[in-house]
């Protein structure tokens, strides 16, 4: 979060949008602060290495 100057929800949304399956998240909120945070995630350029680090952390084991 520090590297990208982002909140946890922004980083996770950026991760989902960079997923190779081409996931299109749907925002289920009318809260303007959450919408603004989501918009910032659109502009985030998550590096591939960081994407895999998040994947590994989420799985709890190393990717071979």
pLDDT tens digits along 9-51: 899 999 999 999 999 999 888 999 889 989 999 899 999 999 9
pTM over 0.85: no
Question: So what's the pLDDT on residue 20?
Answer: 93
Mean pLDDT score of the chain: 89
Yes or no: say if 6 and 14 are a contact pair by the CB < 8 Å rule.
yes
Q: Is the pLDDT of residue 62 over 90?
A: no
> Could you tell me if 56 and 62 are in contact, meaning their C-beta atoms sit under 8 angstroms apart?
yes
CA distances 7 to 4, 15, 22, 30, 60, Å, are 9, 12, 22, 18, 22
């Amino acid at each position: 979060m520090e590297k990208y100057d982002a909140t946890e929800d922004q980083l996770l949304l950026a991760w989902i949008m960079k997923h190779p399956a081409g996931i299109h998240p749907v925002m289920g909120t009318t809260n303007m602060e959450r919408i603004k945070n989501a918009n910032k995630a659109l502009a985030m350029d998550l590096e591939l290495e960081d994407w895999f680090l998040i994947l590994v952390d989420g799985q709890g084991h190393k990717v071979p």
